[in-house]
A and B are shown apart, each in its own frame.
Chain A
């Protein structure tokens, strides 16, 4: 019995220290955002202030970076999700070595360090955009960053969509075709609605991944600025509590977003359970009927 108690204590202590390690740095940073001291620190507390949050709201460079990040995130979603959908569908129509070959190509961006994707994108598009005569339009930081990020974010999205596609019942498609539906109708009215949850979550994932990406962005962004590259320049040149304030805002937004997401998921689970039991009851009533 004491052995069991000892075991539980050790496990408890391990979890405690793990989560102190996980959340401690964020808490310390959060507290430093409220300290009047111009150097971000927790102790000694010179006074409590919201000054750093005000400074954040009037910081033109940061806001410009934020805007670019949102624009890039938007285009990454618009490009990656359709690419990933096409990629996942093609995967189901290839077999044997062709499938392995294709799989290797589309998964490679996940296993390649982000900086290498950024570098390859910049060096290639510098020359290629010149060749197709669109250098003035294509060779700029925002476009290149969208291209570089899309290459690996599409791979992530494809894996999400593939997971759902594996559960797709091909009989549904055949039935629709037999009943006279055209191929594009099957695609639009059967496949897309079935994949909707996966498409939505891959869109969310694509935006968030793009928003917080630094590795590929730092090479591809050229003269433009995203939130992460502005932050990196700030953090390197010196520390300021404004950065802590920004991080605090991001952490709070993350917590709110995760809670909302969790709440939506639970509500859907509950609804599905209700619908399922209603359907079962109906079925039972029919079977027991006259």
Chain B
């Protein structure tokens, strides 16, 4: 079976399941207006064509195709769909155990990179939260309106500078002969310049920097919805400040916290611009490894399998956040 027919079959299945749900999941006795009666023919067609194109051709089919491709061997185009084009786990085998000729037990290089990328992204996400929480809290509960507007302006400016330029700014700031080292030596704090890039400090700082706004806005929205009287009441009843944040503000702001954390994690683990510009010689972020499968080795099925590993990690993270917080998907993607 070729890749495409498999994809068509899976997509058709998803569509049928969806239509069945629409048809049968209703309360007994509930009356529904027919789609074209409700919208008219022209608007109805517009809705179906657009949503169909968007969901099927740009979301579902590419994703299904990528999953399917990751289970196929690398073949020249002439042999695709031929007898050699079989279902195989060879690409995942490569990720876990290395190539068939490797003598190592596991593919340590790639596995270590994968798990350190995930682990460091989780750590940086918490750091990002810790940095942003006070700012968001102040903006939501204490700032006057003119000051709030000023803060939002200041926050937005770095956000529209693209990832590459942000990383570049950090390189100027933190390189061996960079501004930070000039300042440190001038102040007499160090005699020899510090290698910020080699130690990955530059990479981690830039990753947090890029995601500040992604964290602050959901937090701000969630904390802003909180009634200030509750905080006053807790204070009057003698709660220490950290009690107020931990047991009054944060439980209410849970959807915002979950949303900021999820997006921030996903953008860090999936970041490719920042690691390309700032990774030190000893760091191996996972995304450049995926990129190399595609455009250095030109082994697309293997690249697809590596991308799947990253995707699964992101899905597990989202599910984990939903499980821990007890929220629904709709509550964290507002």
Task: Tell me the A residues contacting B by CB distance below 8 Å.
Answer: 11, 14-15, 18-19, 21-26, 28-29, 32, 39-43, 82-83, 85-87, 89-90, 93-98, 100-117, 119-121, 123-125, 127-128, 131, 147-148, 150-151, 154, 159, 163, 182-184, 187, 208, 211-215, 218-219, 228, 231-232, 235-236, 239, 243-244, 246-247, 250-251, 254-255, 258-259, 262
Contacts and interface: CB of A to CB of B under 8 A. Distances in A.
B261 interface: no
A239 B277 CA distance: 10
7 contacts: A39-B177, A96-B26, A102-B18, A110-B333, A112-B311, A212-B161, A247-B169
A235 to B, nearest CB: 5
A106 B54 contact: yes
A215 B272 contact: yes
Given A43-B179, A183-B43, 9 more contacts: A28-B173, A43-B182, A90-B47, A93-B39, A102-B55, A115-B287, A120-B307, A154-B58, A254-B157
B324 interface: no
A82 B18 contact: no
B169 A103 contact: no
Contact of B162 (A18, A90, A212): A212
Contact of B172 (A32, A114, A159): A32
Interface string B170-202: 111100011100100000000000000000000
A231 B163 CA distance: 10
Interface string B125-168: 00000010011001000000000010001111110111111111
Nearest to B162: A212
Contact of A86 (B46, B61, B178, B310): B46
Interface of B: 3-4, 7, 17-18, 21-22, 25-26, 35, 38-43, 46-47, 49-51, 53-55, 58-63, 65-66, 69, 131, 134-135, 138, 149, 153-158, 160-173, 177-179, 182, 209, 212, 262-263, 266-267, 269-273, 276-277, 287, 290-291, 294, 300, 303-304, 307, 310-311, 314, 318, 329-330, 333-334
A114 B270 contact: yes
A23 B59 contact: no
Nearest to B330: A103
The main secondary structure of chain A at its interface with chain B is helix
B169 A29 contact: yes
A214 B163 contact: yes
A194 B17 CA distance: 34
Residue among B59, B61, B170, B333 with most chain A CB within 10 A: B59
Contact of A111 (B164, B169, B277, B318): B318
A131 B8 CA distance: 12
B272 A246 contact: no
Contact of A29 (B135, B168, B177): B168
A124 B62 contact: yes
The 8 A-B residue pairs whose C-beta atoms are closest, nearest first, are A183-B40, A113-B270, A86-B50, A120-B62, A212-B162, A124-B62, A151-B58, A25-B169
B333 A243 contact: no
A113 to B, nearest CB: 3
B55 A214 contact: no
A123 B269 contact: no
Contacts of B172: 25, 28-29, 32, 40-42, 239, 244
Contact of B50 (A82, A112, A182): A82
B256 to A, nearest CB: 15
B161 A247 contact: yes
